[in-house]
Structure 1
Amino acid sequence: MANKSDITSILSIENPQFSTYLIVASLLVLKMCFLTLLTIFQRQKNKVFISEEDTKVFPGTVGANPDVERVRRAFQNDLENIPAFLFISFAYLFVGVPNWVVHFIFYLFLIARTLHSFVYAVYVIPQPARAICFIVGFFIIGYLSGHVLVYGVYSGYLGK
């Protein structure tokens, strides 16, 4: 079992792995905020709103629009992937891998998710661009989960 000083050193700003986690987590959240703003922009641009009371303030109609829905689907995809990454990547900090591995995996996930949003909601590029970005992020979450699971099983049960 990790002692308090181990946990304190892992969760220290002086730990480059934790610093990378903080940077990537912040950028992923900001990216999601950007998609929220892009949704608002698309609603305003296309004059399509989510509820009747919105049309009383902004001229337009209630309903769906392909541009708005595309951004909403990109955001939904983020909601299905980014929280899982934030959780499992935090746990991965306790596995004890070299710094370069954490930096590479975390930044690769950030790049994959950013490109996914870009090719899905900002500048639409035909498949397989979006699928490749999704698969990279998906495999990263799978790898991190598997590594943390093996580490936990070995350290908790087999390592004694």
Structure 2
Amino acid sequence: MGEFHVGNPVFVTYLIAAALMVFKLMGQGWMTVYRMMRAKAGYASPEDLRPGPLNRAPAPAQLELNDYVDRSRRMHRNDLENIPGFWVAGLLFVAVAPPLWLAQGMLFGFVAARVAHALAYAMALSHEVRATFYTIGSLIVAGMALYALVAVL
């Protein structure tokens, strides 16, 4: 079984961080849907204009860009670009048995960076603020991958 068991606190740390990122990723998708329904705008595809129980009075303007909806969609796309790499790098990292303090710092550090990035995006803070949190998360993922690579070379 190696390092991948719930008796290993490093793996448990990964499980918690990875599960939190599942909720973040999936929750952002639901947030986008909620915003589309609330605004009755920002729909993505022409077929979204077909009448149905959730859109009884479709209008072509619903396909126009809506920043309230699109901001959530951009946040979701950003999560899709970053979180899967974290899941993979995190598993590689756990496989080489890092010290618990380092694992907790890196894994929970990534979670904190993604939460801070989401808050900065949701509050429309400057690009520099968002980029700072993105950079922290990105460096953590790269650091975990590098740590795993060096450990096996």
Per-residue CA deviation, residues 15-46 of structure 1 (Å, 9 max, x unaligned), is 11111111111100101111111101221122
Alignment partner of 1:136 is 2:136: yes
Amino acid at match of 2:84: P
Q: Equivalent residues in 2 for 1:1-160 (5 A)?
A: 8-48=1-41, 49-55=43-49, 56-57=51-52, 58=55, 59-60=57-58, 61-120=62-121, 122-153=122-153
| Alignment partners' CA distance in 1, 2:26 and 2:82 | 15
Alpha-carbon RMSD: 1.5
Asked which structure has the greater RCO (Cα within 8 Å, sep 6+), the reply is: 2
Give the alignment's TM-score, normalised by structure 1. Answer: 0.83
Residue 96 of structure 1 aligns to a residue whose secondary structure is: coil
| Alignment partners' CA distance in 1, 2:33 and 2:24 | 14
| Alignment partners' CA distance in 1, 2:146 and 2:46 | 47
Aligned residues: 145
Alpha carbons 1:109, 1:137 under 8 Å: kept: yes
Q: How far did residue 76 of structure 1 move?
A: 1.1
State which drifts further: 107-116 or 63-72: 63-72
Gaps of 5+ in 1: 1-7, 154-160
Amino acid at match of 2:138: F
Per-residue CA deviation, residues 23-72 of structure 1 (Å, 9 max, x unaligned), is 11110010111111110122112212223443312134223211222111
The percentage of counterpart residues that share the same residue type is 30
Q: How far did residue 9 of structure 1 move?
A: 4.4
| Alignment partners' CA distance in 2, 1:80 and 1:51 | 22
Alpha carbons 1:9, 1:15 under 8 Å: kept: no
| Alignment partners' CA distance in 2, 1:97 and 1:13 | 16
Residue 64 of structure 1 aligns to a residue whose secondary structure is: coil
Equivalent residue for 1:3?
A: none
Residue 127 of structure 2 aligns to a residue whose secondary structure is: coil
Gaps of 5+ in 2: none
